[in-house]
Structure 1
Amino acid sequence: MSAAKPVPGLFTFVLHTHLPWLAHHGRWPVGEEWLYQSWSASYLPLVRVLRTLADEDRQHLVTLGVTPVVAAQLDDPYCLQGMHHWLANWRLRAGEAATTRTASGPSPASEPEALRRFGSREQAEADRELAEFETLWRHGGSPVLRDLIDGRVIELLGGPLAHPFQPLLNPRLREFALREGLADAEQRVAHRPAGIWAPECAYAPGMEIDFAAAGVGHFMVDGPSLHGDTALGRPVGDSDVVAFGRDLAVSYRVWSPKSGYPGHAAYRDFHTYDHATGLKSARVTGRNVPSEAKAPYDPERAAAAVDGHVADFVATVRERLINESARIGRPAHVIAAFDTELFGHWWHEGPLWLEKVLRALPEAGVRVGTLTDALTEGYVGAPVQLPPSSWGSGKDWQVWAGDQVADLVRLNTEVVDTALSTVDKALAHAAARGAPGPRMFVADQILRETLLTVSSDWPFMVSKDSAADYARYRAHLHAHATREIADALASGRTEQAQRLAQGWNRADGLFGALDARRLPSA
């Protein structure tokens, strides 16, 4: 069958891969389990899809943001071992389901015959992922990413260390986190990202100056930040830094607060578990169907729904490109942006849908490319003044600065002030003894714990009432670590500060190249 007539413009998928630092901080229901579930259900399948398409000589498929904190966990020996154990346990649980003889719950999906069929399929999938992990991922995620970057399959977006909400962050720490985050990516994959996914798509006027100084040429914002006009990238203010906006009309077709493909009755239900095996053996069945009445998952029914949603999405993108190009009088750029974890973790069929869409779009006359392709080919319009914004509820800062999290905002300010004051004095004291001084392990750990304290994840989880107790615990734990080390150092108890820093580093030893000596001066 011949390809459809080409439509004007360019389409880009942007995926944002992020989880907070979870290693050594609990397992279930929130903690390392979250990492291993996302790794298994999203990261492994996504890489499989991209490698499969690369083998078909397809390039420039996805602009993939990977935050430094996720990259650190995918390379961490402890996390790699934990992931291997998790996959093996999944395989055992699937084997148990495949041989069950008794119902393990009231749901039709937990009846013996349904569970046996489901378990057999899960066992095969677990075997495949174990084999892939043991060969492709055995040395961590960085070699996997570098292969995709070198092969021009993806463009990599970077970001600041530990994913802080940048508009609320002290400018010195904001600059430090961004520069160190870009250097972290370069060290891992031998490529320094030219663009970033700013955490939470958060922006404050003037941040483009910081971006330019760090060598960042483009970044993502949400559609309302550009007043809904996302057909072209826009230079921000007087800078050459370009903001690209997420097209909500297209992105919400897949995933929105109230609707989207993953809620289809045929797809695997994320929230319903078989309690004996921990497997998700039911399908959505219906939006108002209780868990105990969910029907068994049927992969053939799900595959048919995927095909329908692929066709719908491709038609939506074609129509949007045609209409936006006509509206602006030149070829338009359309961006669909999502959390990577949507594909596979939240929406089991997501990786299959993505693979089929990336094949179907070119066949339908839609050119697929990256954000850098858009820059190179001139999909850039007139400069714009961006408002304070984010991609959170209300498209403002309320999720991270509202009344519900006012205590965390105060905590962050206090901890950052303490950390910067202590580190400044320590560095000044070291410089007085002669420059350049050696690295200061204690100062490094103070900044490391501070960055973990100000992670945007904690206020998000509180505002959304998603494991809010865990989020508050984590924020206060890292704040305590910062204060404890800083107090010992400031009071001259150098050996105790060293011991405390070493103790906290055993749990929070990520970003090994972080160097407090590179903190911008006051």
Structure 2
Amino acid sequence: MSIGYVALVLHAHLPFVRHPESDYVLEEEWLYEAITETYIPLLQVFEGLIRDGVDFKLTMSMTPPLVSMLLDPLLQDRYDAHLAQLEELAEMEIARHAQNGHMKYLAEHNAREFNAARVFWEKYDRNLVKAFKQYLDSGNLEIMTCGATHGYLPLMKMYPQAVWAQIQVACEHYEQTFDRPANGIWLPECAYYEGVDRLLADAGLRYFLTDGHGILYARPRPRFGTYAPIFTEAGVAAFGRDQESSQQVWSSEVGYPGAAEYREFYRDLGWDAEYDYIKPYVMPNGQRKNVGIKYHKITGKGLGLSDKQLYDPYWAKEKTAEHAANFAYNRERQVEHLHNMMQRRPIIVSPYDAELFGHWWYEGPWFIDHLFRKSWFDQGTYDMTHLADYLKAEPTQQVCRPSQSSWGYKGFHEYWLNETNAWIYPHLHKAAERMIELSKKEPEDALSWRALNQAARELLLAQSSDWAFIMRTGTMVPYAIRRTRSHLMRFNKLYEDINQGKIDSGWIEKVEAIDNIFPDINYRVYRPL
């Protein structure tokens, strides 16, 4: 019998980026890259595990913006075209390197991967949500929800109705998508504040995740630290991130993804190839970009991109087996040590961004595959579990008040509230006040109903934590600023038009077509609690 649990948790999220008004927007490729490099490879791993009799258990969030984009026919069509372009370029690369043995080998490897993605994409009729749902239905995958648009909840807590809207709209969207209520929620950015647990309980949620210090600084201090969940006074379970297992993957200094054998993310054919050759595959204005074909490995620390050596997927895959074995070995020793101290079965919760596996760390899905296989066949110290199953098996936990926290820089709210992005919050707060005011209205006709619902959509989209995050990182900042401003301007126009009784039906039709998330939203979700 096992003496502990390990829970691998993946957070699958992308901001809602959809631009039917434009033929090409670079930021839409965030989704296309994640489909090719993360979501399809993960599903291929799941398929292989079930085929080989591995009854894997994994917890994964799928946020409403991501689910909405995966189900959107326009974005499905555009991904089709994106993948076709990749397949075409991969075949050209095979021909270009026909006389160079290793480069041809790499080009053929890339082509096989893109062709396999095409087969998988068409196998599920371009519906990856359906593909993930089958593993939810089989009990292998526990899918959580998140905030409706990944809004940073502690920075809107002065408006409980706005927090409630983020939670309730997400739960309704989850139930419509997966034909069942959500059990758990990945709090956006793992950001917790005291009192949000009551809203989670009212929405029917059973558990959430927080960073480790959110548990360690709880009151009273939890007896078992982060190695058992705690129940809040509202009856919701809080799971804390394990620092040791997280560091082995996340750390830029000692984490697995930095191994010399692994593929170099930052050196891409889009920048290496002759311009006339690559021009049809870069941006319409001719500007270079990453195209997703990479030939080099990390090679070593401190090297410039020009010093990188050629990649070999065979040796990289061997390295993932070594790293998965090391991860499993360390979890065995950790569980044994904790079990001896606790005299009960500990749980080690290891949460990561899903897009780390495959997109940023190309070999990440291979690592997950090896880890589940080694955990299933090669040890009996711990059970891999998902969080819902754990709560069924271990229903009794200590009651505490978690500490305010996030998994961001310094562990609190500084990354989302600083000199780069503080300007957005007075506008967001004013919009929240106005939306609460609008929620008390009763529509006079169908057009008023549409306007009120669209106002709710625009506020939710403006509240996405991704925009503040991007402003802080310093990448794609103009886009994040433009998105924040455009949603706020649309919201404010709707507010004024509704109050003046002069709703522009032609304009609102255009806005509904662009910002079409949550088609069944009810603006009354913002009514005072």
| TM-score, scaled to structure 2 | 0.90
Q: What is the CA–CA distance in structure 1 between the aligned matches of 2:142 and 2:396, rounded to whole Å?
A: 18
Are the equivalent residues in 2 in contact too, given 1:234–1:244 (CA < 8 A)?
Answer: yes
Matching residue within 382, 385, 399 for 1:369: 385
Q: Partner residue of 1:45?
A: 41
1:62-211 equivalence runs, <5 A: 62-100=58-96, 113-138=101-126, 140-169=127-156, 170-211=159-200
Are the equivalent residues in 2 in contact too, given 1:164–1:451 (CA < 8 A)?
Answer: yes
Q: Which secondary structure state, in structure 2, belongs to the residue aligned with residue 157 of structure 1?
A: strand
Q: What is the CA–CA distance in structure 2 between the aligned matches of 1:326 and 1:466, rounded to whole Å?
A: 47
> How far apart are 1:27 and its partner, in Å?
8.5
Q: Structure 1 residues 133, 402: closer, same or farther in 2, change over 3 A?
A: same
Q: Which secondary structure state, in structure 1, belongs to the residue aligned with residue 105 of structure 2?
A: helix
Q: What is the CA–CA distance in structure 2 between the aligned matches of 1:267 and 1:407, rounded to whole Å?
A: 40
Task: Please list the CA deviations of residues 254-275 of structure 1 after superposition, one character each: whole Å capped at 9, or x if unmatched.
Answer: 1125431111110011111123
Q: Partner residue of 1:295?
A: 309
Q: What is the CA–CA distance in structure 2 between the aligned matches of 1:175 and 1:40, rounded to whole Å?
A: 34
Q: Partner residue of 1:18?
A: 13
Matching residue within 513, 521, 524 for 1:514: 521
Q: Percent identity?
A: 25
Q: What is the CA–CA distance in structure 1 between the aligned matches of 2:226 and 2:483, rounded to whole Å?
A: 37
Matching residue within 189, 192, 207 for 1:218: 207
Q: What is the CA–CA distance in structure 2 between the aligned matches of 1:301 and 1:130, rounded to whole Å?
A: 25
Q: Which secondary structure state, in structure 1, belongs to the residue aligned with residue 367 of structure 2?
A: helix
Q: Partner residue of 1:454?
A: 463
1:462-481 equivalence runs, <5 A: 462-481=471-490
Q: What is the CA–CA distance in structure 2 between the aligned matches of 1:354 and 1:273, rounded to whole Å?
A: 25
Q: What is the CA–CA distance in structure 1 between the aligned matches of 2:181 and 2:171, rounded to whole Å?
A: 6
Matching residue within 403, 410, 422 for 2:419: 403
Q: Does 2:501 align with 1:486?
A: no
What RMSD in Å do the two structures reach over aligned CA positions? Answer: 2.1
Q: What is the CA–CA distance in structure 2 between the aligned matches of 1:122 and 1:223, rounded to whole Å?
A: 39
Task: Please list the CA deviations of residues 315-338 of structure 1 after superposition, one character each: whole Å capped at 9, or x if unmatched.
Answer: 111111111222222110111110
Q: Which secondary structure state, in structure 2, belongs to the residue aligned with residue 16 of structure 1?
A: strand
Q: Structure 1 residues 321, 380: closer, same or farther in 2, change over 3 A?
A: farther
Q: What is the CA–CA distance in structure 1 between the aligned matches of 2:314 and 2:54, rounded to whole Å?
A: 27
Are the equivalent residues in 2 in contact too, given 1:54–1:153 (CA < 8 A)?
Answer: no
Q: Partner residue of 1:105?
A: none
Q: Structure 1 residues 476, 148: closer, same or farther in 2, change over 3 A?
A: same
Q: Structure 1 residues 438, 212: closer, same or farther in 2, change over 3 A?
A: farther
Q: Partner residue of 2:511?
A: 504
> How far apart are 1:160 and its partner, in Å?
2.4
Number of residue-to-residue matches in the alignment: 498
Q: Structure 1 residues 456, 87: closer, same or farther in 2, change over 3 A?
A: same
1:271-310 equivalence runs, <5 A: 271-274=266-269, 275=271, 276=273, 278=291, 279-310=293-324
> How far apart are 1:411 and its partner, in Å?
2.3
Are the equivalent residues in 1 in contact too, given 2:121–2:128 (CA < 8 A)?
Answer: no
Q: What is the CA–CA distance in structure 2 between the aligned matches of 1:178 and 1:487, rounded to whole Å?
A: 26
> How far apart are 1:519 and its partner, in Å?
3.2
Q: Which secondary structure state, in structure 1, belongs to the residue aligned with residue 299 of structure 2?
A: coil
Matching residue's letter, 2:148: L
Matching residue within 354, 367, 371 for 1:340: 354
> How far apart are 1:60 and its partner, in Å?
5.0
Q: Which secondary structure state, in structure 2, belongs to the residue aligned with residue 383 of structure 1?
A: coil
Q: Which secondary structure state, in structure 1, belongs to the residue aligned with residue 385 of structure 2?
A: coil
Task: Please list the CA deviations of residues 337-386 of structure 1 after superposition, one character each: whole Å capped at 9, or x if unmatched.
Answer: 10110110111101011011001013221211110121111165311211
Q: What is the CA–CA distance in structure 1 between the aligned matches of 2:448 and 2:439, rounded to whole Å?
A: 12
Q: Partner residue of 1:3?
A: none
| TM-score, scaled to structure 1 | 0.91
Are the equivalent residues in 1 in contact too, given 2:357–2:365 (CA < 8 A)?
Answer: yes
Q: Which secondary structure state, in structure 1, belongs to the residue aligned with residue 492 of structure 2?
A: helix
